[in-house]
Every structure is written in C-alpha cells, then in structure tokens.
C-alpha cells in the first residue's frame, strides 16, 4: 500500500497510565497480588496521535497537561514521537490526567480514569489553535475531553473543509446534535454503537441497522469495530465487515486507538480508499493486542506494512 503523508490533528486526552498485570480481575472487597507493575504513556487522544505518527502521518496534538512531573513526562514522550506539541497547554493548579489499568491473563482490561487537566480547556483555547486545525486533512476527537471544545474544533475544521472523525469513547447515552452536524465519520465499537442507537451489535446485519441510525443522525461515514470479528463500514451505499487479523491477544488496551490513528494516516479525504485504510488499521490493531501497555504496544509503519 502506498502511504500518504496525511496531516492529522488530534484533540484529546493525555494520561499517564499506571498498569497492573493480574491473573484475574479482583472481586469487590478482595485483595490480590499483581504480577507486574509499570507506568507508560496513555490517554485515548495521545494514543491515537502516537498511532497516527508511527504509521506515517504528520501529527499535531491539541490538549492540556498539568504543571507537574507526569505532565513533563508525557510531553517528553510525545516529543520523542515527532508530534507537534504547540497545541498543548500546561495548566497551573491542575493535575495531568491519569489512568489506572488492570489487565488479566485473558487479555481483558479494566480502566479507571482521572481527567485532571484534560477537562480544563474549552472553546476559547480551541479558538487559539485555529491555524493548527485548518492546516489538517483530518481532525480526530474522543469523549475524554470537554464536548464543547470538541464541537468548536469540528466547527473550525468544517469551515476549512477539513474532515472530522469522532471516536465516541468512553460511551455516552446520547451525543450532542451540534457535534453530529460537524462529524464526517464516527467510529464506535459494538458496545458504544448500542449505547447510541439502541441496536445490539454482534454481526454484519445488526451493525448495518445501527449504522442506518447513525446516518439518520447526520454522519456520512460509519465504522463499527466488533472486537475480534473486525470492522464494519457503511458509506455511500456500500457496507462490509472487514475481518480482523487472527492473533493471540494478551492486552486489548489501546487497540481501538491504534486502529483509528493508523487508519487516519492513510485514509483519503474523500474516503475513496476506505476499505484499504480499514485493513491497514486492522493490521496495526492486531499488532497492538499482542503486546502489553497502551503506547508501548503501538506499532510503527514498517511493521504494519510487512505482508
């Protein structure tokens, strides 16, 4: 596949992850021993930016960290990835976002997030970054930062004919109509799709029903990731379930973020190569789930391109 040098801007969260590996998940009131403990870069926004950059995109980040040691650590990590950090504010009297992640021997995870500085910026701060947003091919956002900031970022993108990708995670019962009006592509997983549409997604038929409801809400392109089954897309009268690569998963943390970041790095602005871009994202995600951690598990372009 020919790699495009897309300009991708991510508006989103930055977290320092504290990871615990356990044999099984703890029960309420129970104490168990962890097998391993480590810290690493995380946050859905930062994960997606790292994935886009490693897959070959010219990547910019808009967000916030606290004036603390975790904030400096995260800025250093993102700088090493070659990401443009000029859109990241350091906010006094706020803590950098943190996530506490437990992963069991089956590769399943449980995550608790403290937002901190991730919720300390809004439309005013977004307006100050208009030059970064309009100089993009795609603008990506999630639900780990304020919705009003995301709406403003997407409005600026649309005004400048820049395509927008909404990853509606963590899941919300409803999504602002103002946000959907400026969303070109939405990328829920099966659980998030059910939360938004009320349709239980488990196969291609149910995914198409959910996609129809998302189209009715005003979104042009729908991609629903269905775990190990793959990613279903519905666009311009064409729909298909693109199978996932069969691998042994040890940690699913950042799998969805990797998919979105990698896909955006090769996707054409008119979505004409949508299936190929999904395949590229699926390959990247299949590599991520075979490794532990969020950002440490995200693959590089040369790995994804290997046949």
CA distances (Å), 198 to each of 114, 136, 174, 190, in order? 28, 34, 11, 11
Q: Give the annotated binding-site residues for substrate.
A: 15-17, 43-47, 144, 257
What is the widest separation between alpha-carbon atoms in the chain?
A: 53
Domains in the chain: how many in total?
1
Q: What is the pLDDT of residue 250?
A: 86
Identify any residues that bridge with 37 across adjacent strands, giving them in sequence order.
Answer: 20
DSSP 160-182: TT-EEEE---S--S---HHHHTT
| CATH number of 126's domain | 3.40.1190.20
Q: Is the pLDDT of residue 1 over 70?
A: no
Residue 304 lies in a domain: no
In which residue are the tokens 């977290």 written? 15
Q: How far is CA 229 from the centre of its chain?
A: 19
Rg of the chain taking only CA atoms, in angstroms: 18
Active site residues: 257
By three-state DSSP, how is residue 106 classified? coil
**For residue 172, is pLDDT > 90?**
no
As a whole number of angstroms, the distance between CA 134 and CA 299 comes to 28
Question: According to the model, what pLDDT value does residue 195 have?
Answer: 94
Mean pLDDT over 225-229 rounds to 91
pLDDT tens digit string along 58-85? 999 999 999 999 999 999 999 999 999 9
Q: Please check the confidence at residue 293 and state whether its pLDDT lies above 90.
A: no
Please list the alpha-helical segments (H only) found in the chain: 44-54, 69-80, 123-127, 130-134, 147-159, 177-180, 190-197, 204-216, 255-266, 274-288, 301-304
Instruction: Specify whether the CB–CB gap between 35 and 19 falls below 8 A.
Output: no
28 located within any domain: yes
Residue 306 lies in a domain: no
- Cβ-Cβ contacts under 8 Å for 305 (sequence gap 6 or more): 1, 3
List the binding residues for ATP: 189, 225-230, 256-257, 282
139-162 pLDDT tens trace: 999 999 999 999 999 999 999 999
Using pLDDT thresholds of 50, 70 and 90, give the confidence band for residue 253: confident
Residue 269 lies inside a defined structural domain of this protein: yes
**Percent with pLDDT over 70 in the chain:** 98
Say if 125 falls within a structural domain: yes
Domain that holds residue 19: 7-298
Please give the Cα distance from 180 to 49 (Å, whole number). Answer: 22
Q: What is the structure's pLDDT at 107?
A: 82
**pLDDT of residue 119 exceeding 90:** yes
**pLDDT of amino acid 14:** 97
Q: Could you tell me if residue 307 is inside a domain?
A: no
| pLDDT of 154 | 98
* 222 is a domain residue: yes
CB 299 within 8 A of CB 290: no
pLDDT at 2 over 80: no
Q: Looking at the domain assignment, is residue 60 inside a domain?
A: yes
Give per-residue pLDDT as tens, 180-195.
Answer: 999 999 999 999 999 9
Average pLDDT, the chain: 94
pLDDT at 306 over 80: no
What residue numbers does the annotated binding site cover?
15-17, 43-47, 144, 189, 225-230, 251, 253, 256-257, 282, 288, 291, 293, 297
Averaged pLDDT for residues 18-35: 94
């Amino acid at each position: 596949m020919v790699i495009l040098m897309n300009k991708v801007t991510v508006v989103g969260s930055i977290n320092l992850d504290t990871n615990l590996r356990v044999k099984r998940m703890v029960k309420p009131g129970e104490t168990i021993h962890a097998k391993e403990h480590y810290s690493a870069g995380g946050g859905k926004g930062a994960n997606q930016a790292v994935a886009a950059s490693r897959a070959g995109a010219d990547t910019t980040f808009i967000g916030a960290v606290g004036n603390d040691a975790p904030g400096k650590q995260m800025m250093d990590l993102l700088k090493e990835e070659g990401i443009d950090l000029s859109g990241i504010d350091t906010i006094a009297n706020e803590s950098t976002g943190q996530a506490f992640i437990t992963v069991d021997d089956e590769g399943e995870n449980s995550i608790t997030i403290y937002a901190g500085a991730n919720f300390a910026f809004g439309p005013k701060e977004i307006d100050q970054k208009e030059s970064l947003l309009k100089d993009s091919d795609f603008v990506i956002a999630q639900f780990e930062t304020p919705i009003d900031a995301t709406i403003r970022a997407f409005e600026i993108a649309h005004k400048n004919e820049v395509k927008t990708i909404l990853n509606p995670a963590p899941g919300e019962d409803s999504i602002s109509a103002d946000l959907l009006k400026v969303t070109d592509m939405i990328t829920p997983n099966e659980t998030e799709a059910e939360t938004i549409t009320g349709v239980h997604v488990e196969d291609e038929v149910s995914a198409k029903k959910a996609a129809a409801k998302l189209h009715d809400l005003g979104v042009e392109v729908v991609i629903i990731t269905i775990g190990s089954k793959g990613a279903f897309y519905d666009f311009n009268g064409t729909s298909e379930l693109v199978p996932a690569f069969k691998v042994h998963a040890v940690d699913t943390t950042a799998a969805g973020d990797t998919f979105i970041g990698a896909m955006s790095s090769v996707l054409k602005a008119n979505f004409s190569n949508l299936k190929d871009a999904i395949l590229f994202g699926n390959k990247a995600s299949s590599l991520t789930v075979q490794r532990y951690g969020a950002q440490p598990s995200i693959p590089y372009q040369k790995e994804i391109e290997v046949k």
